[in-house]
A and B are shown apart, each in its own frame.
Chain A
């Protein structure tokens, strides 16, 4: 979607100088056990999980509902209503929890749909090559070039006027985002798939008479697993942002709370100018946190899968070197010295 920093994707879009060696998941020993998960991943996962728990479990224990009118326009925070009321006089915390939940659900649906489309197109283009690749990637590049937000605005406007219920709800919005957000994934996956397609085990699979669909699923896809996981995380983030952007423009499904909708109303009712920070800061912060932690998660996954991106700490390296130096000296004292070159 439009607001995702697409430069963050370039390392995938442009084929890395050296194709990353992704180990295929082993049969007897789970490969992820040997991966090196860093603190970045833990931090970002913790943020996401906390937000999700609050969004899904919070409403069960919170005493006020999102549609309950408990005050008037922008009542200041009180002990009972920690974040005051919004422009409708609804409790902001309650609305925030429902909004977050809806945004997450929407992101999950749209992101997964976009991932499926993108991976399918990417694998087909990358593996089959030839005119199929040319055509699919030509199409993808056209979709990439047109600003995504424009397509989204046009399609969601058209859908809003339909009589089909599905398209008016949150599912319809997710569908629209899903069918427009896939090109990035397709590009990244194609680059990887075409490098996998030249590997020898693919030839062996062909020689042993495997059919193309089975090669794609069993011999190509496992090598792309790490990329697909990373792309999924990015798609989630971009879908959540796309939803909030559209809602903010007033193109979201009417009557459904979402983070973008909250901002839409806050802007429409002058929350910023009147200094009613409780009405616009909470959704802004939640949105930023969700998208930051998802991108941070993606970056840390990237470091796990592409060790070249990992930067060792100089301090640790010096320590390790000192340790080794000690061991080497001890060894040298035991043995006769071997002249390397005189």
Chain B
């Protein structure tokens, strides 16, 4: 993951975005287990498995300080009986026992001033803040320890449009200020993603099907699912307004029993014989990765967006 960039992770509901986010944030909790995988940040390798008994113990110091989570729906993310400033102190004390209340307050105050947010929110309970303010406050807390990687899990979904804009501007400002070195932005809201992110990964049924620079992906989609997802977005330009909106037929598969071969083939307009039997190869085209049989057969071709489905 390139430094100082925002990587988007998109896909339908229930495709495993949040699960992946939780695994990356090292908070996979039974019954969810991370079976394997490592994460390398600045040369430091973290074993992500949670099968071992002491994994919780091993992972705890990294949480919040190295990788941090910005959760979906900040509404309930703060304990209702806790003042924001107490949470701030608890977070800092969790990583450095010697931090005093005053030091924690100072740091939070500085951070809030940096982001031109009102300082008085520190003295409130979560329920006293508006939805947008709460989400921004949670963002500040998540990044308080300057985590190297921030996993933003649908931070904008529960907000109204103006709060969304404020939050995104704040995130961008934080990246500019180098508060965190990289962000993984999880959402199903493609317009937000294409606006914010540098790179984009598209997920379907628990797997990443396409991954590349945002521009490439939007203008040169190589996976039929990406293209279907993009075509489902309304774009108020004259060109697209005259077109028919195409949905994606069917619904995401049951992950307990996924389809054989390419997991998208039952809903894919370009499905071929091998799609149903063999897992598609991962093609690397410059900086652009795609896992698709159709893409292999049709190199350097953008998936046509408007296709009349038979």
Interface set of A (CB-CB < 8 Å, partner B): 312, 314, 317-318, 320-322, 324-325, 328-329, 334-336, 338-342
Contacts and interface: CB of A to CB of B under 8 A. Distances in A.
Contacts of B31: 312, 317, 320
Interface in B1-41: 1, 7, 20, 24, 30-31, 33, 35-37
Contacts of B208: 338, 340-341
29 contacts: A312-B30, A317-B30, A321-B33, A321-B51, A324-B33, A324-B35, A325-B33, A325-B51, A328-B35, A328-B36, A329-B36, A334-B279, A335-B279, A336-B281, A336-B282, A338-B207, A338-B208, A338-B282, A338-B291, A339-B289, A340-B20, A340-B37, A341-B1, A341-B7, A341-B24, A341-B184, A341-B201, A341-B208, A342-B1
B35 A321 contact: yes
Contacts of B35: 321, 324-325, 328
B36 A318 contact: no
Contacts of A334: 279
B198 to A, nearest CB: 13
Contacts of A339: 282, 289
Interface in B159-211: 184, 201, 207-208
A338 B31 CA distance: 24
Nearest to A340: B208
A62 B85 CA distance: 72
A243 to B, nearest CB: 41
B3 to A, nearest CB: 13
B279 A314 contact: no
Contacts of A312: 30-31
A228 B201 CA distance: 48
The residue among A322, A335, A338 with the most chain B CB atoms within 10 A of its own CB is A338
Nearest to A17: B76
A329 B31 CA distance: 19
Chain A at the B interface: SS class: helix
Nearest to A317: B30
A318 B37 contact: no
B22 to A, nearest CB: 14
Interface string B282-300: 1000000101000000000
B83 to A, nearest CB: 20
Contact of A322 (B1, B20, B24, B51): B51
A314 B30 contact: yes
A340 B208 CA distance: 7
A328 B184 CA distance: 25
Contacts of B36: 325, 328-329
A341 B182 CA distance: 12
A300 to B, nearest CB: 20
A329 B282 CA distance: 19
A303 to B, nearest CB: 16
Contacts of B33: 317, 321, 324-325
Contacts of B30: 312, 314, 317
Contacts of B207: 338
Contacts of B24: 341
Contacts of A329: 36
Contacts of A336: 279, 281-282
Nearest to B37: A340
Contacts of B7: 341
Contacts of A340: 20, 37, 208
Contacts of A322: 51
A327 B289 CA distance: 26
Contacts of A342: 1
Contacts of A328: 35-36
B155 to A, nearest CB: 19
A328 B206 CA distance: 13
B276 to A, nearest CB: 15
A342 B208 CA distance: 12
A196 to B, nearest CB: 22
The residue among A317, A328, A341 with the most chain B CB atoms within 10 A of its own CB is A341
Contacts of A324: 33, 35
Nearest to B31: A317
10 tightest Cβ-Cβ pairs between the two chains A and B:
A321-B33, A325-B35, A335-B279, A317-B30, A328-B35, A338-B282, A317-B31, A321-B51, A341-B1, A336-B282
A280 B138 CA distance: 61
A324 to B, nearest CB: 6
A327 to B, nearest CB: 9
A106 to B, nearest CB: 44
Contacts of A335: 279
The residue among A322, A325, A329 with the most chain B CB atoms within 10 A of its own CB is A325
A320 B256 CA distance: 14
Given A317-B31, A339-B289, 4 more contacts: A322-B51, A324-B35, A329-B36, A341-B201
B290 to A, nearest CB: 11
A12 to B, nearest CB: 21
B264 to A, nearest CB: 14
Nearest to B33: A321
A319 to B, nearest CB: 11
A320 B289 CA distance: 33
Contacts of B289: 339
Nearest to B50: A321
A255 to B, nearest CB: 56
Nearest to A332: B36
Nearest to A328: B35
Contacts of B20: 340
A80 to B, nearest CB: 58
B217 to A, nearest CB: 15
B160 to A, nearest CB: 21
A325 B36 CA distance: 8
A13 to B, nearest CB: 19
A328 B33 CA distance: 12
